[in-house]
Amino acid sequence: MSARPYRRETWLPYGRQWIDERDIEAVTAVLRGDYLTTGPLVPEFESKFARAVGAAYAVAFSNGTAALHGACQAAGIGPGDEAVTTPMTFAASANAVLYLGGKPVFADIDPRTYNLDPTAVEPLLNERTKAIVTVDFTGQPSRLSALKAMAEARGIPLIEDAAHALGASYRGRPVGSAADMTMFSLHPVKHVTAGEGGVIATNDERYYRKLTDFRNHGIVRDRARLEAKDAPAWYYEMQSLGFNYRLTDFQAALADSQLDKLDRFVARRRAIARRYDEAFGGLDEVVTPYQDGEGESSWHLYVLQLNLEQLRAGRDEVFERLHRENVGANLHYIPVYLHPYYRDLGYARGLCPNAEWLYERILTLPLFPAMTDEDVDDVIRAVRSVIRACVPETSAR
């Protein structure tokens, strides 16, 4: 076979939304109505979302990062407190701890699943630890029961960043009820979108109340909770310091309409991941994503690991070559503490060797439900051809 690269004609991004006419109608109906924000559609969406993920409550936020901020505040994280989290994530998971004056403590990942290794978490827990913040990287659920048991033993909550894992399941149940608070993102590359948006699912009424206060300035209107019990009907009071982190009604309408398609979206993502597994599983030059079997991934990302020992090119060259083929490979993630902002805070290289090792050898392939079979073929063909071009001369096949 020739090593001549096949080049698709148009750019294929690594992820993108899928909006249909029903979504558009749902949004325009709200735009013609009375409420743009804080109307009836946010609570409607929240109830539907809570049912979809098997939780008692869902609280919608203006974005996933705001939702994480709320969860960390509800966990009681404050100045000087710590939260143990993973470096293999989008910076927001750790930033939420910083917003509150807390300190993210990074535990290393399991080199097979790329998720937090519970045995690396345990020794980092101490009297200052206020939460464990785990991330379901790529959509594969974390080792939730081990982490939950550890958190419970210390009387602290497990916060699950499931921005990648809407529609995934853990031990036969949907992701959304195993942790104390589970965060989902409604960003356009995620499973369902509101443009921007986020949700916390919880079964705990106390967290639910803290979260709803937090996204609306800490304002309380519920008569039973007012300090002035005989206050007039218009009265409300601010009982804590919150933010304006509300989701608008037209965004809730979009997210609600998208949620109807979640099962279909996840099924398509799984089918594409299966095709990649089949196509690349037999290649010595790459390692396909390992699944630990505790959960079933909803496949936000397909992360291919390069077996650098079998290649004469590094990750960056493989990446460049894929881009030249119009295949929008991406990289998830630079370990959070290697960003300059974190290094200035005192975090240094060497902290989590598994995460740093992995970072050198991964790239993310395009994966989104609107991909056609031909798009998938193009990615497979491009990866094979680039890998062929990158094997040392002596082993060229």
Ligand X SMILES: *Cc1c(COP(=O)(O)O)cnc(C)c1O
- Residues assigned a catalytic role: 190
Amino acid residing at 9: E
Q: How far is the CB of 388 from ligand X (least distance, A)?
A: 32
Give the three-class secondary structure for 262. helix
Q: Which residues pair with 363 in a beta bridge?
A: 304
Q: What's the CA dihedral at 384, 387, 392, 393 to 10 degrees?
A: 40
Which of 14, 45, 57, 90 touches ligand X by CB under 6 A? 90
Distance CA 186, CA 255 (A): 7
Pick between residue 12 and residue 92 the one whose CB is nearest to ligand X: 92
> 177 to 216, contacts with ligand X by CB under 6 A?
185, 187, 198
Distance CA 260, CA 340 (A): 41
Q: How far is the CB of 142 from ligand X (least distance, A)?
A: 12
Q: How many residues bind ligand X (CB under 6 A)?
A: 14
Amino acid residing at 84: V
Q: How far is the CB of 135 from ligand X (least distance, A)?
A: 5
Which positions ≥6 away from 246 have C-beta within 8 Å?
A: 37, 38, 42, 60, 61, 62, 215, 216
Q: How far is the CB of 90 from ligand X (least distance, A)?
A: 4
Q: Whose CB is nearest to ligand X?
A: 64
Examine residue 141 and tell whether it contacts ligand X (CB under 6 A). Answer: no
Pick between residue 117 and residue 378 the one whose CB is nearest to ligand X: 117
Contact between residue 168 and residue 144 where contact means Cβ atoms under 8 Å apart: no
Stretch that binds ligand X, among 48-56, 60-68, 124-132, 282-290 (CB under 6 A): 60-68
Q: How far is the CB of 198 from ligand X (least distance, A)?
A: 5
Stretch that binds ligand X, among 88-96, 151-159, 171-179, 287-295 (CB under 6 A): 88-96
Pick between residue 103 and residue 187 the one whose CB is nearest to ligand X: 187
Amino acid residing at 246: R
> 323 to 382, contacts with ligand X by CB under 6 A?
none
Amino acid residing at 318: V
Pick between residue 91 and residue 313 the one whose CB is nearest to ligand X: 91
Amino acid residing at 62: S
Strands 286-287 and 237-238 turn out to be: unpaired
Alpha helices in 9-117 (DSSP H): 21-31, 41-53, 64-74, 92-99
Distance CA 358, CA 361 (A): 5
Binding mask 96-135 toward ligand X (x if CB under 6 A, else -) reads ---------------------------------------x
Stretch that binds ligand X, among 158-166, 222-230, 238-246, 254-262 (CB under 6 A): 158-166
Tokens of 118: 């519970």
Which of 92, 306, 313, 376 touches ligand X by CB under 6 A? 92
Give the three-class secondary structure for 391. coil
Q: How far is the CB of 333 from ligand X (least distance, A)?
A: 8
Per CB under 6 A, residues contacting ligand X are 63-65, 89-90, 92-93, 135, 161, 163-164, 185, 187, 198
